[in-house]
């Protein structure tokens, strides 16, 4: 039971935490070229995406 809880934490929370850093990194890197356009990634529902991928695997 404990191992399954840890896997769920990594699956949902780990991705969500890392995605915030990736969003910031992409936004910062695309704003360095002195143009008025930059890439902004919207927040996404990680749980819904992971659940959808899990249901496709089964």
Domain that holds residue 13: 2-57
How many domains does the structure of the chain reveal? Answer: 1
pLDDT for 6 equals 85
Per-residue pLDDT of the chain (58 residues; tens, 9 = 90+): 567 788 888 888 999 999 999 999 998 888 887 777 778 889 999 999 999 998 988 7
pLDDT at residue 38, rounded to an integer: 79
CA–CA distances in Å: residue 12 to residues 19, 28, 45, 51: 11, 25, 10, 9
Contacts of 26 (CB under 8 A, 6+ apart): 39, 41
> What is the Cα–Cα distance from 36 to 53, expressed in whole angstroms?
36
């Amino acid at each position: 039971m404990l191992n399954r809880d840890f896997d769920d934490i990594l699956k949902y929370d780990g991705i969500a935490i890392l995605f915030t850093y990736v969003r910031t990194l992409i936004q910062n890197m695309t704003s360095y070229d002195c143009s008025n356009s930059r890439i902004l990634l919207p927040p996404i529902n990680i749980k819904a995406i992971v659940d959808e991928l899990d249901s496709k695997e089964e």
